[in-house]
Structure 1
Amino acid sequence: MSIPNKINAEHVQSSIEEINKNGIPRNRTFDRYFLLISEKKYPVKYVISLASKYTDNNSGALAPNVFNTYQAQKYLTNLGFNIIDKYDNTETTNEGFKLLNLRIVNNKLLGTINYSFINQEDTQNKIYSTVIIGPNGTGKSNLFRIIIELFRELHSQSLGGARFYNVDGRFDLEFSINNDIYSYTNLIDENIAAKFTIAGEVAQVFLLKNGEIIEFGDAQFPLAIVANSIMLTDKFPVLNNDAEKFPIYKYLGVRNTPQNASTRSYVRRTVDYIVSEKDSNAFRSGLSKVTEFLGINNSIEVYYLTINAPTFFKGETSLETFRKYFSDLEEKYKGKEYPPQKLNVYQRLVKEEGVIKSLSDFCNRLFSEGRLQKNRKGSSIKKIAYNLVEESSFQLLKKEAELLDHLRAIGLLYAPEISLNQSGEYNLQESSSGEYHFFSSMVALMATVKMNSLIFLDEPEVSLHPNWQMKYLSFLRSLFSDENYNTCHILVATHSHFLISDLEGDNSKIIGLKKVNNSKDGNNIQVVDLPRNVDTYGWSAEDVLYNVFDVLTVRNKYIADEIGGILDLLSKGQPNEVNRLPSNKYQLLLHLKDNLKDIDPLKQVVMSILKKVE
């Protein structure tokens, strides 16, 4: 179902008259497009919804989930009405990439729900942050997975591939790239859909650009989609084989397959990200910010430990050394079903011209240049170290990274480690869980986030001290303060009220999720947008609990301030208004009476005020 073609200008005029009489509901205001009549502004979708009531069908107001804003503004334009884009000729635009909206209908996990990810009035001169906060069971992680799967599906179709059908139900994913608005959707007018076919069959899913259907091959994407989590149970896709190739997607998590996780693999990936970073100066500057935040010395070392050093790291390694070692290994496993992986890798590298000779020369060079450090007394294991703070050492790691990885793959080096220096050197895996997760996450983000990136952070507060949580988003803004990152959009899923006390209001949005029992529409999750004019920056944890979660804590200063304001109102009233309050303040007192704990002394104050005003 979509906009009935029987709606005409008279029906629209009747809709306008109804709006003039009854006003516009809070949940039906406009975000971008509006109908302008006699200098009054009317939301295009709400106008169409009401206009449907006045057609011959008399079927009532049209539900907002069966058509989109662009269909509404185009329909009204065709009827001759003046539709205004409030961002025309203004400085506030969705520069770069922004995720705008996701409407989900009849999804098995999320039900029917609409998420609006940005405030259109916000400035776009900094990286934009959307924080989605709510208790367990409100679908935050599944929401992130669905968004990524929809982009992956669209990417596949843009290359002529098939849909994956990993998202059930109906959907409309809306995003902007440099002010062009794209919508990937299967929520579209059946009459329009019938005009488009794929392989002779009516299309089931569409891509729109600024309200017009376009070919999938014309799709635009964020330059990178980055998914970060340190939880074993994150729901981000882990893509491994060629059939799942999605090159703009980077998974920065602890799982190395959909079913398995490894902290050692996570560290190795972190080193890979360090090596792949092209702008070493900016990267090392970011590393300095990370170490300063953690309160550790500005010393970060990547190191590798040798295996079989007496054979390969004594300065006498040759092609024959490699041939004999792996021939003996092959003989040992002859006839066995599963030879070691390092043998398979060696046999592949032998076929690549010059690779084994390069590895032999590298082993000898490490010895002759005195770069093989003692690891511990009495051990033959040697250490190959690179100090990331020093530019020359950083560049040397990048230059030798492929050789090091080959040696690791054929079993002559252990997987890399990262050492930090606080009150004595220790490796990353020996650090506190908070340090480990924070450092690894930030390094991975610095190496993968580009301009026009979409970044997902799932519960970054895990293992972080509350003080670090309260500084987390501020640190991210500092880390990505370069103007190239102004075009990025960060989505954070969290349980932590500490996290949003550091959120700046002019380039961020908070979306609250609540569980709802026995809802009329059958949906168990409710979206609660925090009003834009409420800026949480600098709030205490109590302020956040009261304003966002509606949790009343004992001796909450914010509540005390509210009650103080009511007492002030009463004291300043005129003689004929003694003991009278505005309705909203009275309702607040009733709410506090019902929800404050009996042990809270503020409850007694509330009860005393109510006795007076009642």
Structure 2
Amino acid sequence: MSFVPDLFIGQVISNDQLMKIFRCGRQGGMRRSLKTNTLVLITDYTDDTYLDAKPDKDDNYVWKYCGMGDNGDQNIDYKHNKTLYESNKNNEDLHLFKKEAPNSYEYIGKVLLIGEPKRIKDPNKNRKLLIFPLEPVGNTQDITDFLNNIGFKILLKEEIIDGSTNYLAAKKYDAILKLMVANKVDTLIGSDGWFFNSKGYFYNQYSKDGWGKIQDIEDKKNLFIGQNKYINPYFSASLVYSEQDNSNNMEDENKMGKFRLRTLNFKSYNVNYKIDFYNKDQELSGKGKFYTTLILGPNGTGKSIVLSTIQKIFLDMYLLSISRKENHAKDIEYELIYTIGENKFKLLKENGKPTFYKNDLKVSLKEIVLPKRVISCAFNIEDRFSTTSAKVLEEYQYLGLKNKKFKYLLENLTSNIIDAVLTDNKFLNDLKNVTEFLGFGPELKIRLPFKGNNSLEDMRNNNYVTKLLTNANEKSIVAADIIAFWKKYRTYNLVDPNNKTINYIENGLEIFFDFSRSADYEEMYEDFDEIKKQIKLGVFRIPDIEMKKNGKWFSIEGSSSGEFQYMSTMINILTKIKSKSLILIDEPETSLHPNWQYKYMSVLDKIFKEYNECQFVMATHSHFMVSDLKNESSSLIELKSKSNELVISKNINESVYGRSAEDILYEVFNMPTSRNYYIGKDLDEVLQAISLDRVNDDIRDKAHKLFSMINYLKESDPLKELIMVIYKKVTDIV
């Protein structure tokens, strides 16, 4: 959902008010905020550095906004020029202000980029400027809702719908414009940035040029080309097609309640899987906590396949919802059922075609509410999860090791921490739960040592930095920005060396985060963004992340593999989690000491206690983790191979919380251990029942359980022969 500022068109505010409303930085004509997912644009008529022109009649009252860059030709890839240029595709909200007096910012409103930026000559310097055409959005409406509200008969009469195909007919764009005016709609919006406004400007990722003005384009098909599948509610093959219009009955997904998986049936590698994720006698409420499902089963039963299939199904749904082609679960036939609050959703794919259901009624994809985010985690370089880039899709986040080097892990962790600090005020407070579990203090340092022979003097030398950028073929950074950054922080440190978040250290840089000061960092976006770009540029060596332990700073690179795995996983999840997220973790016990495994679930409860609308699903072999699972907020399922072509799940209904390791191994994993008390107890009960001729169904179940363990016993073990004799005796008694 887009951020809506508490402002009216024409309202004048101060710079401090602007910062507070949009949670952005203090300076600059383009100010980005991750917290509000906005790019604030300020057209400044008090400074002639940039050539911002006021809207005029000759140019259809379009706002002409000058790009970033003080020196040389302005580059489309430079800093927020690129953010602005890709704003439609990336669903980045643009908000425009004009400044005509010091500390006075008049709100123009939310705007859209309506065309390719023009290159013009700078009248003050020998260079070229980028001029971005912007148009206020005004009153907006979703295109599918608009078409539903107009109705099929009127659309057919006006020839907006082709009667033979039910396709939208772009050649009748003028009829659409008249209906927009009649319904007081300034801009129609669709998925993946598609829009069409009352002046005829449009954006369509599938059109030849991407955007333009429909009146000026010869081929009018560019308006709707490739979009009928995603926005046309009267086209039967459309993902928004519904036999009845439910647009007025759609609920606010933010108020719907908790996300919970129910069942999954699918076929993979010629094996059918039938999985129940919950105990049917359990309400799945979790009593105010997030819900956890542990998946058990011998190797080869498909625990990892189940996790990756869930991930791939939702990833494809996310892609379809933004008008992208799905291809991750394309060869899988499936039925996935989940609930959000009181609503039940079913995603079904048969014969290659997806269909959607809400509360057992067939609906369009638009009426399906998906988890806010799916996060997949693994500490195995050969995991089965998809690795789609977060730049393509924010809703899916891959936090694994596949095809990654250790250097990437630390760089990625550093970037995630910085982004989370800028995005969510709760992040550092939640991170404190992780550090407390590990015995660390509520502080964090990121040290960035220069790479090779780089030095402070080099980073302030124009020739050196220019060569560095040329070798890296980097266009999003200019030498002047790098030089200004290092001059700025060297000066700050000399004036006040003890009270800065970003500090110059000998041969590098240091970032210090105090977990109690999260609100202080949001205005530092531009500086943090500069650091991230210099990391990618190769200015620094591998980042060094440090925590404080027993009053001394401690590098996590020197920690044990278990400490590093646990810390990096928890921090990464914290940087990405949202309400109603689904978190999939494959073998979380990897490298963890048994003590940590034993406390894993309870610490997870503490770390993510604010995310009670989420669900964690984990595949594990750890009996210690099972014994830390609380029955009222979890389910425990075991995968069983019924044949070479069928895997089913069995819900383990009894409470396992707090039970001993031997008890869990025997009762849950069907695994005997030497001198196991519980095996002896069952043997005694079965032998006594045989001797007293009191064999009943309960005794037979115990005998079957004992018999299921013989494959784990050595041939020389006398217990194996005893169990076989007992089993034969019990099964012979009718």
TM-score (normalizing by structure 1)? 0.67
Unpaired segments ≥5 residues, structure 2: 1-254
Tell me, yes or no, if the aligned pair for 2:689 and 2:699 is still in contact at 8 Å: no
Deviation at 1:262, TM superposition (A): 1.8
User: Which fold has the larger relative contact order, with Cα–Cα distance below 8 Å and residues 6 or more apart in sequence?
Assistant: 1
1:340 matched residue in structure 2: 471
1:87 matched residue in structure 2: none
Counterpart among 550, 570, 580 of residue 442 in structure 1? 570
- Alignment of 1:114 with 2:300, yes or no, is no
Per mean C-alpha deviation after superposition, the further-off stretch among 354-363 and 212-221 is 354-363
Equivalent-residue separation in structure 1 for 2:476 and 2:383 (angstroms): 35
Residue by residue, what CA displacement relative to the aligned partner does 1:110-141 show, whole Å, maximum 9, x if unpaired? x1121111234234122111111123222222
Equivalent-residue separation in structure 2 for 1:309 and 1:373 (angstroms): 20
After superposition, the Cα gap between the structure-2 partners of 1:398 and 1:358, relative to the gap in structure 1 and judged at 3 Å, is closer
Counterpart among 416, 419, 429 of residue 273 in structure 1? 416
1:129 matched residue in structure 2: 292
- Alignment of 1:175 with 2:175, yes or no, is no
1:508 matched residue in structure 2: 634
Deviation at 1:443, TM superposition (A): 0.8
1:486 matched residue in structure 2: 612
Equivalent-residue separation in structure 2 for 1:592 and 1:392 (angstroms): 56
- Alignment of 1:253 with 2:400, yes or no, is yes
Equivalent-residue separation in structure 2 for 1:435 and 1:397 (angstroms): 32
Tell me, yes or no, if the aligned pair for 1:224 and 1:449 is still in contact at 8 Å: yes
Tell me, yes or no, if the aligned pair for 1:512 and 1:529 is still in contact at 8 Å: yes
Residue by residue, what CA displacement relative to the aligned partner does 1:464-496 show, whole Å, maximum 9, x if unpaired? 0112112111211111112xx111111101122
After superposition, the Cα gap between the structure-2 partners of 1:421 and 1:356, relative to the gap in structure 1 and judged at 3 Å, is closer
Residue identity in the other structure for 2:657: Y
Tell me, yes or no, if the aligned pair for 1:359 and 1:407 is still in contact at 8 Å: no
Please list, as runs of the form range in 1=range in 2, the aligned pairs for 1:72-87 lying within 5 A after superposition: none
Counterpart among 317, 326, 340 of residue 465 in structure 2? 326
Per mean C-alpha deviation after superposition, the further-off stretch among 280-289 and 495-504 is 280-289
Tell me, yes or no, if the aligned pair for 1:108 and 1:169 is still in contact at 8 Å: no
Deviation at 1:382, TM superposition (A): 4.0
Tell me, yes or no, if the aligned pair for 2:263 and 2:338 is still in contact at 8 Å: yes
Tell me, yes or no, if the aligned pair for 2:703 and 2:726 is still in contact at 8 Å: no
Residue by residue, what CA displacement relative to the aligned partner does 1:193-237 show, whole Å, maximum 9, x if unpaired? xxxxxxxxxx82211112222222333211111111121111111
2:677 matched residue in structure 1: 557
Equivalent-residue separation in structure 2 for 1:161 and 1:374 (angstroms): 44
1:82 matched residue in structure 2: none
- Alignment of 1:361 with 2:508, yes or no, is no
Equivalent-residue separation in structure 2 for 1:137 and 1:601 (angstroms): 27
Counterpart among 420, 428, 431 of residue 287 in structure 1? 431
Equivalent-residue separation in structure 2 for 1:397 and 1:422 (angstroms): 29
After superposition, the Cα gap between the structure-2 partners of 1:311 and 1:354, relative to the gap in structure 1 and judged at 3 Å, is closer
Q: SS in structure 1 opposite 2:411? A: helix
Equivalent-residue separation in structure 1 for 2:701 and 2:291 (angstroms): 35
Residue identity in the other structure for 2:258: G
Please list, as runs of the form range in 1=range in 2, the aligned pairs for 1:336-415 lying within 5 A after superposition: 340-341=471-472, 344-345=473-474, 347-350=475-478, 357-358=484-485, 360-370=487-497, 381-389=507-515, 391=517, 395=521, 399=525, 400-415=527-542
Counterpart among 325, 339, 348 of residue 185 in structure 1? 348
After superposition, the Cα gap between the structure-2 partners of 1:240 and 1:104, relative to the gap in structure 1 and judged at 3 Å, is same
Residue identity in the other structure for 1:151: F
Tell me, yes or no, if the aligned pair for 2:444 and 2:514 is still in contact at 8 Å: yes
2:88 matched residue in structure 1: none
Counterpart among 668, 675, 690 of residue 548 in structure 1? 668
Deviation at 1:527, TM superposition (A): 2.3
1:263 matched residue in structure 2: 406
2:446 matched residue in structure 1: 302
Equivalent-residue separation in structure 1 for 2:519 and 2:508 (angstroms): 18
Tell me, yes or no, if the aligned pair for 1:207 and 1:215 is still in contact at 8 Å: yes
- Alignment of 1:419 with 2:518, yes or no, is no
Deviation at 1:393, TM superposition (A): 11
Tell me, yes or no, if the aligned pair for 1:275 and 1:398 is still in contact at 8 Å: no
- Alignment of 1:155 with 2:282, yes or no, is no
Equivalent-residue separation in structure 1 for 2:350 and 2:504 (angstroms): 65
The structure where strand makes up a greater share of residues is 2
TM-score (normalizing by structure 2)? 0.57
Q: SS in structure 1 opposite 2:672? A: coil
1:530 matched residue in structure 2: 651
1:35 matched residue in structure 2: none
Deviation at 1:170, TM superposition (A): 1.9
Q: How many residues align?
A: 465
1:458 matched residue in structure 2: 586
Equivalent-residue separation in structure 1 for 2:428 and 2:510 (angstroms): 20
After superposition, the Cα gap between the structure-2 partners of 1:432 and 1:363, relative to the gap in structure 1 and judged at 3 Å, is same
Per mean C-alpha deviation after superposition, the further-off stretch among 282-291 and 208-217 is 282-291
Unpaired segments ≥5 residues, structure 1: 1-92, 189-202, 331-338, 572-577
Residue identity in the other structure for 2:413: T
Tell me, yes or no, if the aligned pair for 2:259 and 2:613 is still in contact at 8 Å: yes
2:220 matched residue in structure 1: none
1:73 matched residue in structure 2: none
Q: SS in structure 1 opposite 2:476? A: helix
Tell me, yes or no, if the aligned pair for 1:104 and 1:114 is still in contact at 8 Å: yes
Counterpart among 702, 706, 711 of residue 588 in structure 1? 702
Residue identity in the other structure for 1:450: K
After superposition, the Cα gap between the structure-2 partners of 1:96 and 1:515, relative to the gap in structure 1 and judged at 3 Å, is same
Deviation at 1:603, TM superposition (A): 7.9
Residue identity in the other structure for 2:608: F
Tell me, yes or no, if the aligned pair for 1:511 and 1:527 is still in contact at 8 Å: no
The structure where helix makes up a greater share of residues is 1
Deviation at 1:608, TM superposition (A): 8.8
